[in-house]
Structure 1
């Protein structure tokens, strides 16, 4: 695998830390800015909305430009906006910085996925995707718990400063390892052809499933802090531990799926969604029992991100070989779920189920995903072979 692919994973680690660290900072932000915890949770939704809007737009704007320059531009904006977020005393300004930061993150993701899969070659497309997505899971393992600790020790603003600082090495690494050239796509795919490909019965169900799976994931992940402290009755010191366990499970899931999904993607996806429906239901029932709750956290991380990675890989697999919009659309679908999940979970908190409610919502979303998968099964290819737009073989990457 080319070293540049791992460099992209490093940059995604910094950006993933920013996207998910709010799950451990909600109480501090709510207290400091004088808003409720569900309102603070909307910061996660704001970031996701920016990703949804930005991913396809930035993909189209950057598709014929130097990928190194595009990556450096997006990462530079991302760093600057976190400095502003760390300094602002105003919730509305912080909300705006989350949207702008997400636009930059979306642009980076769109270019990074296309760059990684091109550098790795068709035979290692899923492996390259798992490396990039693995940066997010490493953020859950190390970055998000570290952000929670910084929030506990020095306040939530320290976590924003930390994200800006850890992004700087990624800037240097990208400048040195990513080729400074325009995409080499052979016969270019027009915007119209890319849009037409996305409207096929092969891709639309996969995008919808991405949305539902990630909606279930972020619905519960965004409120893990109050679940741990209020429902399970554990102290605040357990919050970083819980987030680290979720991230560790996520990393394991992405790593395993990246190595096996190319052989049987449909089976992996169906089994993963079934296990998620059962798992979120079990978590909702066991949340008040500390040992069971903590045990389920890494399992749900593994299943959530493993299944999500398999779905992203499926979108890329059946898209035109030179498409950048496919990766952007997968990112957008991922973040539609990340936007809707915390919002629905926050609304559900106001019911009699309180902080246990997001777990039940996640279970419901996964049952919906399974229903969609069953109803659309006949529209999917009869085999898991790649699309006719993807070469059947090519020299493996270094």
Structure 2
């Protein structure tokens, strides 16, 4: 894989850490800015909303710029937003900086996904996606726990400064590593396609279907991931120090899964869906039944991280294949699918917490979401993945 892909992954790591780090910082922020914990939780909602809305808007806004300029611009805005967040004493200003950072994050990821597809051969988009999204999985494994420790020792503002500093070498990497013509349309596709023509690709049934399936799988992933802590401390009866251990195991599995799924998505997408989907469903059911056993919980955290990201990355890779005729907007379609799932899954999971399922409600929600995805995907598997590297023309 080309070096620029790995440089983009560094930036995705910084942004992924920023996206997930607030989970352990909300109480400290609430005390520091004299707001309720519930109000401080709106920072997460603002970021999620910015990610969902921002992907298509930012990609459309930057579509006439080169990839290098777009990526650098989004990175600089992201950095400034974190500096402002670290300095402010106003909760309202902090809320605005989170929204701005999310818009920049979504724009960067949308352009990066489209750019990644042009840096490799036409039948290696899945592998390119795996390299890029490995930055997110490493953020789950190392960035988020590291941010939590930094925040506990030096305060929440230190994590914002750390993200800003980490973004600077990533920006340098974009300038030095991304070719000036990277991100231009593939041969045979006009680089001057109108925005309307690219948006018209959303009327293609196969593209819409893989976006829906990708969103469902990601929703299932984050439904349980968001509420793993009470499962660890309540259902399994482990101490609070085991929570980061389980999260890291899930993160390590996600790193393995995104690389496995990305590689298989190029040559065997149908196999990933037909085999990985049912195994993922069985894994969620097993977790719901065996979470009271600490050893089973630790093992299944790794397994489910692997299966979730293998299937999810394979489906998102299919989005890039099906959106080949939308060279500047295709990445935003993939980003939107990821973030609709990431925002919607926890909402579905939260609705189950007041039911008889208790702390395991989110796990059953994940199983339900995967079951829905399989009911749609398995009968249409040949339509979703008609052949290696084929796209809907």
Structure-to-structure mapping, 1:295-374, within 5 angstroms: 295-321=299-325, 323-374=327-378
1:264 deviates by: 1.1
Judge which range, 292-301 or 351-360, deviates more: 351-360
Conserved 8 A contact 1:261-1:310: yes
Match of 2:97 in 1: 97
Match of 1:120 in 2: 120
Match of 1:283 in 2: 287
Do the aligned partners of residues 296 and 24 (structure 1) sit closer, same or farther apart at CA in structure 2, a change above 3 Å counting? Answer: farther
Match of 1:150 in 2: 150
Deviations 1:305-354 (CA, angstroms, capped at 9, x unpaired): 11111011101112235522122111101101111112222333233434
Conserved 8 A contact 2:66-2:184: no
Conserved 8 A contact 2:198-2:326: no
Conserved 8 A contact 2:127-2:262: yes
Match of 2:73 in 1: 73
1:360 deviates by: 1.6
Conserved 8 A contact 1:41-1:346: no
1:248 aligns with 2:252: yes
Distance 2:213 2:129 in 1: 18
1:165 aligns with 2:154: no
1:192 deviates by: 2.4
Distance 2:325 2:307 in 1: 28
Structure-to-structure mapping, 1:155-234, within 5 angstroms: 155-181=155-181, 183-185=183-185, 186=187, 187-188=190-191, 189-234=193-238
Match of 1:262 in 2: 266
Normalised by the length of structure 2, the TM-score is: 0.90
Report the number of matched residues: 388
Distance 2:87 2:236 in 1: 34
Conserved 8 A contact 1:23-1:224: no
Do the aligned partners of residues 31 and 353 (structure 1) sit closer, same or farther apart at CA in structure 2, a change above 3 Å counting? Answer: farther
Deviations 1:344-387 (CA, angstroms, capped at 9, x unpaired): 22333233434322222111111111122246457546434412
1:130 deviates by: 0.9
Do the aligned partners of residues 70 and 21 (structure 1) sit closer, same or farther apart at CA in structure 2, a change above 3 Å counting? Answer: same
1:157 deviates by: 3.4
Conserved 8 A contact 1:146-1:240: no
Distance 2:304 2:384 in 1: 27
1:163 deviates by: 1.7
Stretches of structure 1 lacking an aligned partner (at least 5 in a row): 390-398
Structure-to-structure mapping, 1:3-14, within 5 angstroms: 3-14=3-14
Match of 2:138 in 1: 138
1:14 deviates by: 0.6
Conserved 8 A contact 1:45-1:338: no
Stretches of structure 2 lacking an aligned partner (at least 5 in a row): none
1:87 deviates by: 4.1
